[in-house]
Amino acid sequence: MIILLLFGISETFSQQCEANLKGEIIDFHDGTPLVGATVILLKDGTPSKSVITDLEGKFSIKNICIGTYEIEVSHPECKSKIVPVEIEGNTFKKVRLEHHLEKLGEVVVTGDNGRQVAETVNSQSLKAAELVQFSDATLGDALREISGVSSLNTGSTIVKPIIQGLNSSRILIITNNVRLQDQEWGIEHAPNVDLNTADRLTVVKGSGALQYGGDAIGGIVLAKPRRLANHDTIFGKTILSASSNGRGGSITSSLDKGFDNGLGVRVQGTYKKFGDFRAPDYFLTNTGTEQKSFSVNLGINKFQYGAELFYSYFDTAIGILRAADFGNITDLVRAINSPVPAFTDDFSYTINPPRQEVSHHLLKASAFVRLERFGKISLQYAFQFNDRQEFDNRRGEDDGIPIVDLELTTHNLDLVVETHPTKDLEVTAGVSAIYQENFADPLTGVRRVIPDYEKYGIGVFGGLAFNFNESLLLDLGARVDYTNIDAEKFYRTSFFESRGYDVDFADIVVQDFGTQLLTNPQFDYTNLSATVGLNYKIKEDLELLFNYGLASRPPNPSELFSEGLNQSSAAFELGDLRIDTEISNKLSFSFQGRALDKRLNFNLTPYANFISDFIVLEPTGVLATSRGTFQVFEYLQNDATLYGVDVDATYDLNEQFSFKTSFSYLRGQDTERDQPIINIPQTNWFNTLSYKNEKWKNLQLSLKSEAFFRQNRFPDNNFIAQVVENNEFVDVLVDVSTPPPGYHLLHFDSSVQFKFGGTDMELGFSVENIFNTNYRQYLNRFRLFADDLGRNFTLRLKFNY
């Protein structure tokens, strides 16, 4: 969609430095003039003159010397574009900028880092203005605003995004151009990202960002910070937020300083603290959270070159619902059958065990050069260190020692080359290398859930985008990845044998310790991924996107090696050395356009994802121990198909009122066993009525209705357990499968903007779950034990200075 066509008309004019450049910047979609677009005249990459377009989208730059120039055109709602211009005399230039379908948040990410995402995949964004109301929430909470995105929760504080039905290792999370490596494999491992570092969050509903990896079977989340300032300026932003539920809030601040030599600095930090949250009828004991994060960004941005140094630190402590912490199946049955959780206490800020403490460090150094008549070359190195500790109620002096302590260190090196051989062809290619090391601290005194391992990988990718004409774009890409995992794992001898590993994997045994065996499993994977897409502008107001994506994902360490008790589910989670790569073939279409005098904007996205050897964690039986019996979950591979549709539409009733609707339906089927796939998001339908009045301090009011239908398609994983009742053993059916009923929630949000002593301020007030409705969410693992969150009032104040 970077179709940008120029109609240059030049007149000959003899004087040397008296030429005038006039022009017009218009919206590619409808030809309307773009007011307030910045036009910068660049001579050899250095800005020489800058103007802003007038009410008719026109601009004029006077007294230009004859020569070759470039103009950089930017507009807040558009992608910036650099266009070559030959000044031989008075010149007129008309530039069509790709103006986003604003109302839908329908945005394709390109910007200064070039084409990262295939422009034929449906992607949707949340911008800074929308992110403000999530400053005290998690990444997963914010992303739910986008149709087709739901979340897999462990309580209310551990929120993992699901894109079109898929989560965890099937979603790449990219923060500031770095792929997050934060032990994302676990269901109860939430992304370690401070939402407040992002200026824009984009969800790509497909695998079309091969630059970041070929394994995005579910999709990609891009959290992109604002560009650093590159001229003399200083500005900052602070958001304060206070909420009634959890009796906490957050403060986040950022300060930017720019210099005329192109240097820019940003420091940013967030502190967040909540106590126990509350369901409508009781406190959810031990669900408090605390988060501290901090980042510094230093960079120089010129047209011809640039470099950036970025460091971020993220630290969080999350309480796990006390009522979900128990021992064996007897305890599970008690917890499920208890209408009110067995442990509900008065409000407290204390985060007792069970809890998680996770810290994440990210250091990035990157640089680019733009070479004349060639393109752009970028190099990036990133270092990440993720330390995850899980605490539980232990006997004796062990109480302060974690039961899980995993340290994951990752180094990434990426080289990307972007070039434009012709004006209609854009080629991107690159190499990326990864080295990763996991260290599981033996001092926990608990056998490692994930073993020590080393992982090497190298990927080579290439892609091109070709504009056939103004209305047809073709997108092609391919990537090959080689991955090697070298682990050192202790197996229980009895487990090793019961799995038949002593036959199939006898050669991996390094040393026999009697009841345990030290093994050295090593695996190699070579994976291919590819994308083909078309972007066809059927007519002025209607566009069709088609994309086919092939994505391959080698198993993650959890799927291969996991062996241990999962907190809060009375279940053992067992990996399998025989698990192999899963491969997805995804077809997606997207119809987007406008109608009814451009007052209606719509976006219809049907898709089908055919996954061979889809890896799922499923209950396979029970295990008897001295602690009683436990459910056993194993990773299995079966072919699966997911298909669904996401629909978005907005309608402007008049200047003040607008209506927005979004609907998502998804069906997941295990085609080998002919049964539904577990944990597929239920159908949902959101409707929002908004009022805005620019004359009254930009007043915005909105009422949002969220309807979640019951998930009627689920695999039956119920099982029979023997429990004691009235001094007899009785068999009871443990219902861990049946989804909860559907529910409806109503939310209110409002804001006003005003100036206070020269500072731009925004005051917001919102109410979530207005009617304090009791509900349980199918994709919340704690739905068996407690209700979800009750009513919440939030007051927030944003300052720009």
- Does residue 396 bind other proteins (CB under 8 A)? yes
Closer by beta carbon to other proteins, 515 or else 654: 515
Which of residues 69, 134, 303, 343 is near other proteins by CB under 8 A?
343
Whether 364 contacts 336, CB under 8 Å: no
Which of residues 433, 532, 544, 600 is near other proteins by CB under 8 A?
433
Closer by beta carbon to other proteins, 220 or else 446: 446
* Residues 419, 427: Cα–Cα separation, whole Å: 5
Which of residues 54, 199, 407, 437 is near other proteins by CB under 8 A?
437
* Residues 519, 552: Cα–Cα separation, whole Å: 27
* Residues 206, 549: Cα–Cα separation, whole Å: 7
Judged by CB under 8 A, which stretch of 3-11, 619-627, 648-656, 752-760 contacts other proteins? Answer: 619-627
Q: Which of residues 38-77 bind other proteins (CB under 8 A)?
A: none
Sign of the dihedral through C-alpha 491, 495, 501, 506 = positive
Q: Which residue has the tokens 């804001």?
A: 751
Closer by beta carbon to other proteins, 131 or else 417: 417
* Residues 663, 602: Cα–Cα separation, whole Å: 12
Q: How far is CA 388 from the centre of its chain?
A: 20
CB count in 10 Å sphere of residue 614: 26
- Binding-residue total with other proteins (CB under 8 A): 65
- Does residue 494 bind other proteins (CB under 8 A)? yes
Judged by CB under 8 A, which stretch of 77-85, 202-210, 446-454, 770-778 contacts other proteins? Answer: 446-454
Which of residues 452, 634, 706, 788 is near other proteins by CB under 8 A?
452
Closer by beta carbon to other proteins, 335 or else 465: 335
- Does residue 674 bind other proteins (CB under 8 A)? no
Which of residues 116, 135, 287, 444 is near other proteins by CB under 8 A?
444
Q: Which of residues 550-609 bind other proteins (CB under 8 A)?
A: 564-565, 572
* Residues 282, 512: Cα–Cα separation, whole Å: 52
Tokens at 601, concatenated: 């904007």
Closer by beta carbon to other proteins, 72 or else 398: 398
Whether 683 contacts 709, CB under 8 Å: yes
- Does residue 342 bind other proteins (CB under 8 A)? yes
- Does residue 732 bind other proteins (CB under 8 A)? no
Shortest spacing between CB 372 and other proteins, in angstroms: 12
- 231, with CB counted inside 10 A (0-12, 13-18, 19+), is middle
Judged by CB under 8 A, which stretch of 49-57, 80-88, 122-130, 450-458 contacts other proteins? Answer: 450-458
- Does residue 327 bind other proteins (CB under 8 A)? yes
Does the N-terminal peptide bond of residue 354 adopt cis geometry, omega within 30 degrees of 0? yes
Which of residues 271, 456, 589, 651 is near other proteins by CB under 8 A?
456
Q: Which H, E and C letters describe 305-345, residue by residue?
A: EEEEEEEEEEEEEEECCHHHCCCCHHHHHHHHHCCCCCCCC
- Does residue 411 bind other proteins (CB under 8 A)? yes
- Does residue 7 bind other proteins (CB under 8 A)? no
The β-bridge relationship of strands 19-27 and 91-97 is parallel
Whether 270 contacts 328, CB under 8 Å: no
Judged by CB under 8 A, which stretch of 251-259, 469-477, 485-493, 703-711 contacts other proteins? Answer: 485-493
Residues 500-539, mask of contacts with other proteins (x by CB under 8 A): ----------xx-x-xx-x---------------------
Shortest spacing between CB 396 and other proteins, in angstroms: 5
- Does residue 299 bind other proteins (CB under 8 A)? no
Which of residues 31, 84, 421, 445 is near other proteins by CB under 8 A?
445
Which of residues 18, 357, 488, 652 is near other proteins by CB under 8 A?
488
Closer by beta carbon to other proteins, 212 or else 453: 453
Shortest spacing between CB 443 and other proteins, in angstroms: 9
* Residues 146, 123: Cα–Cα separation, whole Å: 10
* Residues 97, 541: Cα–Cα separation, whole Å: 15
Whether 80 contacts 71, CB under 8 Å: no
- DSSP letter at 222 equals E
- DSSP letter at 681 equals P
Q: Which of residues 741-770 bind other proteins (CB under 8 A)?
A: none
Which of residues 12, 14, 654, 727 is near other proteins by CB under 8 A?
727
Closer by beta carbon to other proteins, 378 or else 603: 378
Closer by beta carbon to other proteins, 456 or else 651: 456
CB count in 10 Å sphere of residue 735: 14
Judged by CB under 8 A, which stretch of 8-16, 28-36, 323-331, 537-545 contacts other proteins? Answer: 323-331
- Does residue 620 bind other proteins (CB under 8 A)? no
Alpha-carbon distances of 659 from 105, 159, 163, 262, 651, rounded to whole Å? 14, 28, 24, 43, 5
- 23, with CB counted inside 10 A (0-12, 13-18, 19+), is buried
- Does residue 270 bind other proteins (CB under 8 A)? no
Q: Which residue has the tokens 């008690």?
A: 334
Shortest spacing between CB 482 and other proteins, in angstroms: 15
Residues 375-394, mask of contacts with other proteins (x by CB under 8 A): ----x-x-x---------xx
Which of residues 10, 74, 80, 330 is near other proteins by CB under 8 A?
330
Tokens at 527, concatenated: 């994976």
Q: Which candidate, 205, 178, 206, 208, places its Cα nearest to that of 193?
A: 178
Q: Which of residues 348-367 bind other proteins (CB under 8 A)?
A: 365, 367
Compute the residue count for the chain: 801
- Does residue 395 bind other proteins (CB under 8 A)? yes
* Residues 93, 704: Cα–Cα separation, whole Å: 44
Helix (H) or strand (E) holding 485: strand 472-492
* Residues 213, 480: Cα–Cα separation, whole Å: 9
End-to-end CA distance of the chain: 35
Shortest spacing between CB 629 and other proteins, in angstroms: 8
Binding site for other proteins (CB under 8 A): 305, 307, 325-328, 330-331, 334, 342-343, 365, 367, 369, 379, 381, 383, 393-396, 398, 411, 413, 433, 435, 437, 440, 442, 444-448, 451-452, 454, 456, 488, 490, 492-495, 498, 510-511, 513, 515-516, 518, 564-565, 572, 623-628, 630, 724, 727-729
